[in-house]
Amino acid sequence: MAGTQYVVFSINQQIFGIEIFKIKEVLSYRKITSLPQVEKFVRGIINLRGAVIPVFDLREKFNLPAKEYTKFHVIIVVEIAGRIMGVIVDEISDVLEILPEEFQTTGNLPSNLRREYLKGVGKKQDEMIILLDIDRLLSPEELELVDAA
Amino acid sequence: MRNPIHELLKNMKMRTKILAATIVAVSVFMGPSLYQSLVIHKKTAMNQASEFSDHMLDNIYSAIRFPMSVGDEKTVKEQMKDVKEHMDGVQVYILDFYHKIAYTSEKERIGSSIEKYLQGSESRKALSEALETGKAPGISFPEMENKDPFLVTIKPILNESSCHHCHGSSRKVLGAMVIKQPVKKVFAAINHTRNRLIIYFAAALIGLVVFINFFFSRLVSRRIQLLKEQTSLVAAGDVTVEAIDDDNRDSIGSLSRNFNQMVKGIRDRMEYANSLKLGIIDPFLMVDPEMNVTFINENAARMSGLSPDEAIGRPCHEVFHSSACDKDCPIKKALDTGEIAEGKRMTLTDRKGNEIPAMSISSILKDSSGKVLGAFAIIRDLTSEVKAEKSLQEAYLKEGKAKQELEKKVEDLSRILKQVAKGDFTMRGTLSGTEDAMDVMTKRINETLDSIVNLIVQVKNQIVPVIRGVAHISEGNQSLSQRTQQQASSMEEVSATLEQLVLNTTENLTNTRNADSLSKDAVEVAQEGVEEVEKTSHAMVEMSTASQKIVEMVELINEITFQTNLLSINAAVEAARAGEQGRGFAVVATEIRNLAKRSGAASKDIQTLVREIMSKVTATGHWVDKLKGSFTKIVQTSKQVSDALGETSLGNEESSKGIEQISQGTQEMTAVNEKNAYFVEEISQETQKLMEKARQLHHISGVFILGDKDEQKEEDLKIEKDPLPARKNRRKSEALSTPLHKDLLTKPPVDDLNEDLLEKEFEGGFEEF
């Protein structure tokens, strides 16, 4: 056994995975209240059952071309370094269990991704899933910005 | 009183009148003012004298008052003496109320009554009043004493308190004081002034009169004088006066101009009358009421044999010796009756004893008041008229003679023409050789008769060729008859062929009609097809709408699938958190996720399918539209076909009719042909008759008697008779013409004269034969 469950989603046809335990909830896209004077990748805040959660867009973070939001976009509520926040992704596809033999670290990664927030790549039925280390996704400066929001 | 003045004024000159009027007017207006000024002057001088007397009186009174109040008589007397000495001529009297003089400057008059020295009754009366009432009269009184004028002034002396001690107080008036002042010098001054005024006035009067007269003379009387002189000349009959040159705009100026205008008018009228008088070219003379000649023009003078100057002034009968002078003188008649005497014919005898036939018109001359001034006469010389009359009579006689001769000639010609009418052309008109119109006419008639004779000879010559020509016609007619028969048989053939053609055409027409009805059916079917296509098109639209709805439904399913997926992931997350306890739940979550996946795939399939359907519907829609277009075209084309067929049908009917008409025409032609055959027969018969007539004509022309030419004619006939048998032989082979020639030969010409025409026309002619 010893496999780890990942929630798999796609941004700009690239498939990413986040460890299931890091995920609090998955929401359909809803209206985001934008905030003034914050970094562009921070979209704003949403109200989740009384709690105010900052939301950012991974497209921005990964320097991918911006895309208009539809009702089929998904906000994944995650816990990053003890903070609850929402991440906007294009599409959520599956919950997969990556076995250790399917997991591998690799040096050949897309240029827009930094190594520090990558865990590795999961190979599943000829599909390559980029596994993100959510805790390292944001730099301390970015975290401060999110806190400020 | 008025009449003498009027007479006087009437006989006065204008200038004198104006002078008198000026003097009177100036005197009337200046006299009273002169008198008034004299009166005023005198009054002023007298007033001054009177005032002076009053002053003197007051002075003297005040001088004597004190001495008198104290009874100092001596002083009073001294005063009086002073007055006498120093005041030249002034007399002072102081009197009591009995008019007795108490003191005076004239010592010798003391004690006498004042009445003696007051001459005027007015002054005496004034004195008595003053003594009674104590009031001064207020005026002075002029009086005369020893021819010297004095001014008397009276003042009563009142009984004042200072007098009471002598005179007591019972009387109001104690006496009076009278001063007589000499006014001779004053009067002299007044007279002097008056005289000078009169002299000045007279001088002014004379000056004014002279002045006015001068101007009047300049402005009026001289011009009027000139006008008078000129008008006198005109009145005397001299209208050659010069125009007055007066350009003033006053009434005399316009009078002068009017005068000029008038004179010019008179001159114009006279000139007009003169030009009328001189413009008469006929002999013309004017006489006074005593019948003395006052005017005679050149032509009349020439007629009379005197010069105009010799004639003027003589009595009329001495100038013209006329048959009318003793009685019926037209001038005398005009003078007696005052009417125009015209058209009087007379004979004038001139100085040489020649008689001149003449005619005269006379009328009187009157002035504006109707007074007879004389008469005038216009004489016309009738010599040429009388001559013309004579020649006309001669001509008339000549004409009568000529007419008789002409009638004779006409009778001759008439006789000849009568003979001609009977057919005898041997006689000719005789020519007189005068070359007049009648001679020319006779010549023409002779020529005409000659040409007629020639013509008849020619006719006779021409008849034989006519007979020959008729024979030719007869021959031609025969061949025409044959051809007509041939034509008739070919016409029958044509007719048969045409009948067949009519049958065929009728069949063709029926077929066309069938085709027409079939094409109409086709149109109907095509129309139905269009309707069906339209229904289909409608159904396609409905299908498209339904597909759209399906797409909407699929969208909804997609959404649900998406939510379900989210739910399953959430469930998986929760199950992972729950660990071992959540394992079962995780399975459920996976199942749900699979379900969502499947339904998502299914919905995607549906979506694809529906999109395909929709694109196909759209494509089909295009095809249906095209189909619709095609059907519409079919309908149109079918209609056109139907119309064309209709037209063809009509055309067929027309051609059928046409053929029928042709057939009819052919039948008619056949009938005509038959008639032609008949006509040919007729012509043949008529030709025979014509031949006969020609022959008869030949005989008839022999009737005319043509003199020497006629003999030649008979020879011609003999010559003609000879060639005929030869011709007869030639024509024997041609059956038609043979009988005609036989007739011509066998029957002698005169035997055929039993014709009506000949009997009527030439009955007379035969008798002569």
Give the one of B573, B589, B590 whose C-beta lies nearest to A23's C-beta: B573
- Give the lowest-confidence range in B93-107, B450-464, B468-482, B649-663: B468-482
| E strand or H helix at A84 | strand A83-89
Model confidence at B475: pLDDT above 70: no
CB atoms within 10 A of CB B603: 20
- Give the lowest-confidence range in A42-56, B479-493, B547-561, B593-607: B479-493
Half-sphere exposure of residue A44: CA atoms within 13 angstroms, side-chain side: 9
Specify the pLDDT at position B1: 53
Yes or no, beta carbons of B593 and A28 under 8 Å apart:
no
Which residues from A are below 8 Å from B593, CB to CB?
A: 94-95
Q: Which two tokens stand for residue B691?
A: 């031949």
Closest residue of chain B to A94, computed from CA coordinates: B569
Model confidence at B558: pLDDT above 90: no
Edge to edge, what strands does the sheet with B141-145 contain?
B101-104, B91-96, B173-182, B148-158, B141-145
Q: What is the average pLDDT across B246-250?
A: 81
Model confidence at A75: pLDDT above 90: yes
Q: What is the 3-state secondary structure (H, E, C) of B670-713?
A: HHHHHHHHHHHHHHHHHHHHHHHHHHHHHHHHHHCECCHHHHHH
- Cβ-contact B151, B50 below 8 angstroms: yes
The beta-strand segments (E) located in B41-132 are 91-96, 101-104
Which residues from A are below 8 Å from B566, CB to CB?
A: 26-28, 74, 92
Cα–Cα distance between B157 and B175 in angstroms, integer? 5
Specify the pLDDT at position B472: 67
Model confidence at B362: pLDDT above 50: yes
Yes or no, beta carbons of B569 and A24 under 8 Å apart:
no
- Cβ-contact B335, B329 below 8 angstroms: no
Model confidence at B721: pLDDT above 50: no
Beta-strand relationship, A51-57 and A83-89: parallel
Model confidence at B698: pLDDT above 70: no
Specify the pLDDT at position B490: 75
Cα–Cα distance between B150 and B144 in angstroms, integer? 6
B581/B460: higher pLDDT? B581
Model confidence at A77: pLDDT above 90: yes
Model confidence at B741: pLDDT above 50: no
Beta-strand relationship, B173-182 and A83-89: unpaired
Cα–Cα distance between B95 and B113 in angstroms, integer? 9
Q: Kindly list the structural domains of chain A, giving each domain's residue range(s) and its CATH number in brackets, ordered by start.
A: 4-148 (2.40.50.180)
Which residues from A are below 8 Å from B569, CB to CB?
A: 7, 26, 92, 95
pLDDT bucket at A109, cuts 50 / 70 / 90: low
Edge to edge, what strands does the sheet with A118-124 contain?
A91-98, A4-11, A14-19, A127-132, A118-124, A103-104
Give the one of A20, A24, A27 whose C-beta lies nearest to B572's C-beta: A20
For the CA atoms of A106, A107, A111, A117, the dihedral, rounded to the nearest 10 degrees, stands at 60
B2/B342: higher pLDDT? B342
Distances, alpha carbon B68 to alpha carbons B111, B164, B169, B211, B424, in Å: 17, 12, 16, 70, 195
Which residues from B are below 8 Å from A23, CB to CB?
A: 573
- Cβ-contact B516, B656 below 8 angstroms: no
Three-state SS at B245: coil
Residue type, B99: H
Yes or no, beta carbons of A95 and B572 under 8 Å apart:
yes
Q: What is the average pLDDT across B729-736?
A: 40
Tell me the DSSP string of B265-322. HHHHHHHHHHHHHHH--S-EEEE-TT-BEEEE-HHHHHHHTS-HHHHTTSBHHHH-EE
Which residues from A are below 8 Å from B573, CB to CB?
A: 7, 20, 23-26, 95
